[in-house]
Chains A and B, each alone.
Chain A
Amino acid sequence: MTKMGLWVNEHWVEVEPGPGEMLSDVLRYRLGLTGTKIACDEAECGTCTVLMDGEPILSCSIPAMKASGRRVVTIEGLAKNGNLHPLQQAFVNFGAVQCGFCIPGQIMTAAALIEGNPDPAESEIRDALKDTLCRCAGYPSIVRAVQAAARSLRTGEPVAQSELPEASTLVTVGRIVPRPDAVEKVNGSARFADDLTFPGMLYGRTLRAGVPHAILTALDVARAKALPGVRAVLTAEDIPGEHRHGLVIRDWPVLVGIGDKVRYVGDAVALVAADERRIAEAALALIETSYEPMETVTDPVRAREDGAPLVHETGNLLKHIQVRKGDVGRGFEQAEVILEDEYFTPTTEHAYMEPECSIARPVSGGRLEIYVGSQIPYSDRSQVAACLKMPVEKVRIIGTLIGGGFGGKEDIAGQIHAALLAKATDRPVKILYDRHESLLFHPKRHATRIRVRLGAMRDGRLVASATELYGDTGAYASLGEKVMTRATTHSSGPYVVPNVKADCYAMYTNNPPSGAFRGFGVTQSAFAVESTMDQLAERLGINPIELRSKNALRPGTVTNTGQILKESVGLMECIERVEAEVRRRAGADPFASRRVEGAPHLRRAWGFAVCYKNTGLGGGAPDKAAAEVELRQDGTAEVRTSSAEIGQGMVTVLQMIAAEELAMPLEAVQVLLSDTDLTPDGGPTTASRQTYVTGNAVRHASNVVRQAMAATLAEKYDVPPDSIRFVEGLAQVNGDRLPFGEVVSLMKAEGREPRATYEYWAPTTQALGTGGDMHFAYSFAAQAAEIEVDLDTGEVSVRCVIAANDVGRVINPLGLQGQIEGGVMMGLGNALTEEFIVEDGRVFSDRLARYRMPSIVHTPEIVSLVVEHPTSEGPYGAKGVGEISSIPTTPAITNALYNACGVRARRLPVDQDWLARELAQMQAKA
């Protein structure tokens, strides 16, 4: 080892980097500067960017020795004298911070840009940030923030505020407010799981099978155990409790035992804990395994055929899901036009910037604490407890910040494994997945094959819809049944169709599992039905917008599952507002192919699509959330619930609701999330449900506290409770103004707790097939996308997306903007770039360089039109927004592509290679 010195944030430090040590290792693990994050560890994503002699570089791929004698600046070194750098302030003000994991990289890269270029054009910002990925995809906000920071630096004026309109009928709800965690996320002090260390902590690694379908015939860990520095090697025999986990069906082995079956390459076989991560990794290589390979089945259609290899002894069918309405046979007989087509969607990957990390720590009383960024902490607790054979009270899940989830952090990752190793060694154990392991192991978006048949009258009225779906749920159930149910129930679109028949086969295969992913099945079926609707419009000679308007769900209509929609159906307004904006920009015929002056090889056109998406679990599942609200002696309040903040803005929403109900300043409300000892169960962060369900729990709990304050004051002042006013953290009674802190003292003096827990139950829903309300609310959306296609190369770019979303009621405008822009970008990736490639059960997309997602250079102009058709029971009328914004983007783009060049995409993503060949063939024929 060689000693070296370098300047870090203007301090001279001396270190002795070990073999293979990168600059990021020195910064994070030797110097404790954990603001620099590692997301891909392969120079692909830009997250780890720091400045070296003023230039941005990727610290994950710079040997530490290269920094010898150089000046390194990290995100921690940007703020001066406790004042945020204008860039940091601008990222806060403009809502450019969501999950926050990529933000240090964005800010450092941008800092170098504006240092050398005080007035960067948008194109220069895009150039500079082209390889710095943000999966929340707040790219438009990032551009706005960089421009605002540059302006502030040029003029010396304070950093501007976001110019988003506020909704102002309430005191706090609807206002533009910064995220409570924004400052720590821009200054580098935010702690994600891998940023935590504990004394004596060991490092765990997982041996994965690497074969898609086989019997594990031998497993020898002796050599691994003998390696110096190894503290434990565990196999299936060492599991004290349940050997399987799973969110719905416990079919997923914690570790595959000898004689048991491997069902996909990511199956875990053995665990190692060692003093250092590299020792644990070396130990994995010493574990000897042998497998008896079995024939694989990797296609869901093949999986349903007779004689297909069986993934599970019970068969390959996870669930046959059926939707029936009216008489579909008669419907098609009646139809004057019938259109049928088939579509394929690939497996896609969440690619949250933060890879999974769990730390388990034995604490006094025989308890285990687990630090993890999880979307369902209480489910983690019960699954860990079951596998370790511990009472649930002995397990505490402590949620850390989460660097993106999108549905991918609902299943168990390393929680149980870390717990097993911690129990075995009586030491804290951290299991951090690198990107490679994350890609291999965790559940994805279902690949589907969807056949759609629509019957319509000549005037455009839909009379029948028949859909057949195959969903590839991979090796384990995860949430496969629920996802494919949503795909099926939404498969005839947000339309009134009197006769419906849909059959879906959710199939096990030897591919990596599929589960929850933003859009939850509707992403896939919306692509299929919206592509078919455009074809139908062309066949009928009807404008695509008119065809949709003619059939759109409205209040009082019946969905294909038999639900009468009573309220909050803003689809028509979404359609009308997008239509108006498109026509304003593109004139009377936006769907016509247009040439581009001076570029004969380019064509442009707009495309249109609509969708709906349920809020909440639905289908008869009890959907409830509990929250606790406590007023404290210092006049502040704390809101507690186990809901997860995955970047979507949950903390802000709950903070605003409590502040509104308690009539307190926003800053006086703190929110504590995701701690199973301290926060009641908010239920899973899934199904766009948290604002509605947990939001209501907080609203009601706040009201109970407020009423308790009123009751105390009413008794003391002998006035009717409703004569007492609460304003800005003060109680006004009989002309007196009491700060809430004093009210708390009064309450305590009379033995009344200034605290309330409320368990909110969302309206009851009905199981599929029983009629009635399958969901308590739906969000609606319409989008138009303008694309440009290069007829020579097949390159497609999106120029503009106009998105109208009926969200019921806007609570947090800045957060909503992030959800809409990020959702559109994810839909764009789904249309044009993303495919998780698996070949015969083996993962090809095992590096980020092999999974392509949109970057800032793919980002179109995004115009958000907010539609508010309130729900009667959602908080202030709100319903879900997390998923709806993403769903119509893909078909709007593929419809635009057809309009521009006449090629219909039936398989995603639209492959440039394929498209160019199609175009060449068309040209040859013409």
Chain B
Amino acid sequence: MTSWEHYVRPGSLDEALTILAEGDGSARVIAGGTDLLLDIQQGRHPPVTTLVDITGIPEMLAIAAAGDEIYLGSAVTHTTIVHDPLLNENTLCLIEACGLIGGPQVRNVATIGGNVAHALPAGDGTIALLALQAQAQIASAHGRRWMDLEELFVGPGQASFDRSREILVGFRFKKRGPDEQTGFRRIMRPQGVAIAILNMAIWFRGSNETGIEDIRMAIGPAGPRPLRARRTEAILRGRKLSDDVIAQATEALLGEARLRTSPHRATVEYRRHLTGVLLRRTLAAATGQDTPTPVAVGG
């Protein structure tokens, strides 16, 4: 079985869209390829006729500030994100998430857009972007549109845009404002399958004095799609952190997260147990009360 027949490297988005259109469903966008190629080789994705490599398209490689927003091209690699000063200043949760994925060899090619477009319920970068309330730009032959990132996910591995004809171009999200912080944590298990068993990102505005003025949190895998935990956010909003408040938030999170047993990965009981642990740890990270992300031993 041959994974692909033709490999093309367009230099512009229009060129890429034209090739996709000509492929009429038989072409597929590839960025780092770290997920897609394994899926094809291991039979989870059918072989494709044409791979359209978008990693040479300038606007998809950009990281830029515009007003109070940051634009992040979807073909930016995890390594680039981890080392980028603008992102380090503004989006610690994204830095932490992207720094935990794979080893340097994978981070050097794997892209943030690939992580999102793969549409898995617990992509580390995806979870971080959800907490940042990012929007995603999709380009098709008919034009471009922005959508809330949440709208992009339909089910496990399923996206709301047509990945054989459309391209995920980039993301935009707000810069960090006063009293705003973010954090990302995940828990791995060194037995069984090499996938995180639970991850979480939190964006937070507030202080010790004012408590939580506003909060956004995302968790995975907690259902068929990456979950923005709005009910839990509502419990926490306007409160000061205490054991009691965290217990209430955990209760809410267990209510809205659809946790399940994944064979050789985690039992539902363990995931339920970890939910509170992870909430406490990620809150501590986001509120600056935790040490920096440790190396993921299970990774």
Which stretch from A124-132, A147-155, A534-542, A776-784 is at the chain B interface? A124-132
CA distance A362 to B59 in the complex (A): 58
A119 at interface by CB-CB < 8 Å: no
Docked-complex contact B194 and A833, CB < 8 angstroms: no
B102 at interface by CB-CB < 8 Å: yes
Docked-complex contact B106 and A131, CB < 8 angstroms: yes
Docked-complex contact A912 and B191, CB < 8 angstroms: yes
Docked-complex contact A131 and B102, CB < 8 angstroms: yes
Nearest Cβ on chain B to A829's Cβ, whole angstroms = 9
Partner among B4, B6, B191, B197 whose Cβ is within 8 Å of the Cβ of A835: B191
Given A19-B5, A835-B191, A130 and B103 contact (CB-CB distance below 8 Å) = yes
A913 at interface by CB-CB < 8 Å: yes
Q: Mark A39-60, 1 if CB is under 8 A from B, else 0.
A: 0011110100100100111100
CA distance A19 to B296 in the complex (A): 36
Docked-complex contact B194 and A43, CB < 8 angstroms: no
Q: A185-214: which residues lie under 8 A (CB-CB) from chain B?
A: none
CA distance A49 to B190 in the complex (A): 23
Partner among B7, B269, B298 whose Cβ is within 8 Å of the Cβ of A65: B7
Nearest Cβ on chain B to A259's Cβ, whole angstroms = 31
A844 at interface by CB-CB < 8 Å: yes
Docked-complex contact B103 and A852, CB < 8 angstroms: no
Contacts of A127 in B (CB 8 A): 104, 295
Docked-complex contact B104 and A128, CB < 8 angstroms: yes
Partner among A57, A847, A912 whose Cβ is within 8 Å of the Cβ of B108: A57
A219 at interface by CB-CB < 8 Å: no
Given A62-B33, A837-B264, A916-B274, A795 and B38 contact (CB-CB distance below 8 Å) = no
CA distance A909 to B264 in the complex (A): 12
Q: Mark B51-78, 1 if CB is under 8 A from A, else 0.
A: 1010100000000000000000000000
Q: A57-101: which residues lie under 8 A (CB-CB) from chain B?
A: 57-58, 61-66, 68
CA distance A347 to B42 in the complex (A): 24
CA distance A318 to B41 in the complex (A): 39
Contacts of A56 in B (CB 8 A): 104-105, 108
Docked-complex contact A792 and B277, CB < 8 angstroms: yes
CA distance A285 to B257 in the complex (A): 43
Docked-complex contact A132 and B103, CB < 8 angstroms: yes
Given A43-B38, A65-B7, A793 and B30 contact (CB-CB distance below 8 Å) = no
A576 at interface by CB-CB < 8 Å: no
B90 at interface by CB-CB < 8 Å: no
Docked-complex contact A913 and B295, CB < 8 angstroms: no
Docked-complex contact B4 and A20, CB < 8 angstroms: yes
Q: Which residue of A lies closest to B278 (CB)?
A: A793
Partner among B1, B33, B190, B197 whose Cβ is within 8 Å of the Cβ of A61: B33
A920 at interface by CB-CB < 8 Å: yes
Docked-complex contact A793 and B33, CB < 8 angstroms: no
Q: Which residue of A lies closest to B108 (CB)?
A: A55
A123 at interface by CB-CB < 8 Å: yes
A30 at interface by CB-CB < 8 Å: no
CA distance A130 to B6 in the complex (A): 34
Q: Mark B185-223, 1 if CB is under 8 A from A, else 0.
A: 001011111100100000000000000000000000000
B270 at interface by CB-CB < 8 Å: yes
- B interface SS class: loop
Contacts of A711 in B (CB 8 A): none
Docked-complex contact B103 and A126, CB < 8 angstroms: no
Partner among B6, B102, B266 whose Cβ is within 8 Å of the Cβ of A913: B266
Docked-complex contact A913 and B270, CB < 8 angstroms: yes
Docked-complex contact A20 and B277, CB < 8 angstroms: no
Given A132-B103, A792-B277, A68 and B9 contact (CB-CB distance below 8 Å) = yes
Contacts of A57 in B (CB 8 A): 105, 108-109
Docked-complex contact A852 and B34, CB < 8 angstroms: no
A2 at interface by CB-CB < 8 Å: yes
B273 at interface by CB-CB < 8 Å: yes
The size bracket of the interface on A is: 35 or more
Docked-complex contact B7 and A2, CB < 8 angstroms: yes
Q: Mark A16-37, 1 if CB is under 8 A from B, else 0.
A: 0101100000000000000000
Docked-complex contact B37 and A63, CB < 8 angstroms: yes
Contacts of B91 in A (CB 8 A): none
CA distance A303 to B150 in the complex (A): 52
Docked-complex contact B295 and A49, CB < 8 angstroms: no
Docked-complex contact A281 and B33, CB < 8 angstroms: no
Docked-complex contact A850 and B274, CB < 8 angstroms: no
CA distance A125 to B263 in the complex (A): 33
Docked-complex contact A63 and B33, CB < 8 angstroms: yes
B133 at interface by CB-CB < 8 Å: no
CA distance A56 to B110 in the complex (A): 12
Nearest Cβ on chain A to B37's Cβ, whole angstroms = 6
Nearest Cβ on chain A to B106's Cβ, whole angstroms = 6
CA distance A916 to B299 in the complex (A): 19
Partner among B5, B104, B194, B197 whose Cβ is within 8 Å of the Cβ of A112: B104
Partner among B191, B269, B296, B297 whose Cβ is within 8 Å of the Cβ of A911: B191
Contacts of B242 in A (CB 8 A): none
Docked-complex contact A797 and B297, CB < 8 angstroms: yes
Docked-complex contact A916 and B270, CB < 8 angstroms: yes
Docked-complex contact A61 and B34, CB < 8 angstroms: yes
CA distance A546 to B41 in the complex (A): 56
Q: Mark B19-38, 1 if CB is under 8 A from A, else 0.
A: 00000000000100110011
CA distance A308 to B245 in the complex (A): 57
Q: Which residue of B lies closest to A278 (CB)?
A: B2
Nearest Cβ on chain A to B263's Cβ, whole angstroms = 8
Q: Which residue of A lies closest to B265 (CB)?
A: A913
Partner among A42, A43, A63 whose Cβ is within 8 Å of the Cβ of B53: A63
Partner among A42, A46, A52 whose Cβ is within 8 Å of the Cβ of B103: A46
Q: A630-681: which residues lie under 8 A (CB-CB) from chain B?
A: none
Given A19-B2, A20-B3, A793-B187, A913 and B267 contact (CB-CB distance below 8 Å) = yes
CA distance A438 to B183 in the complex (A): 41
A316 at interface by CB-CB < 8 Å: no
Partner among A17, A128, A850, A858 whose Cβ is within 8 Å of the Cβ of B190: A858
A917 at interface by CB-CB < 8 Å: yes
Nearest Cβ on chain B to A736's Cβ, whole angstroms = 61
Docked-complex contact B192 and A850, CB < 8 angstroms: yes
Nearest Cβ on chain A to B38's Cβ, whole angstroms = 6
Contacts of B5 in A (CB 8 A): 19
Contacts of A222 in B (CB 8 A): none
Contacts of B108 in A (CB 8 A): 52, 55-57
B79 at interface by CB-CB < 8 Å: yes
CA distance A129 to B105 in the complex (A): 9
Contacts of A800 in B (CB 8 A): none
Docked-complex contact A61 and B7, CB < 8 angstroms: no
Docked-complex contact B79 and A832, CB < 8 angstroms: no
Docked-complex contact B1 and A917, CB < 8 angstroms: no
Contacts of B2 in A (CB 8 A): 19-20, 278
A894 at interface by CB-CB < 8 Å: no
Docked-complex contact A857 and B297, CB < 8 angstroms: yes
Contacts of A113 in B (CB 8 A): 104
Q: Which residue of B lies closest to A17 (CB)?
A: B7
A849 at interface by CB-CB < 8 Å: yes
Contacts of B296 in A (CB 8 A): 857
Contacts of A62 in B (CB 8 A): 33, 109
CA distance A174 to B47 in the complex (A): 56
Docked-complex contact A63 and B299, CB < 8 angstroms: no
Nearest Cβ on chain A to B20's Cβ, whole angstroms = 17
Contacts of B267 in A (CB 8 A): 913, 917
Closest 6 CB pairs of A and B: A131-B103, A20-B2, A65-B7, A913-B270, A20-B3, A19-B2
- Show 19 A/B contacts (Cβ-Cβ < 8 Å), sorted by A: A17-B7, A57-B105, A58-B106, A61-B33, A62-B33, A63-B51, A66-B53, A113-B104, A131-B102, A131-B103, A832-B190, A835-B191, A852-B190, A857-B296, A857-B297, A912-B189, A912-B190, A913-B267, A916-B270
Which residues of B come within 8 Å of A, CB atoms?
A: 1-7, 9, 30, 33-34, 37-38, 41-42, 51, 53, 55, 79, 102-106, 108-109, 187, 189-194, 197, 264, 266-267, 269-270, 273-274, 277, 295-299
- Excluding A127-B104, A278-B2, 7 further A-B contacts by CB distance (< 8 Å) are A41-B41, A43-B105, A46-B105, A57-B109, A61-B33, A63-B33, A131-B105
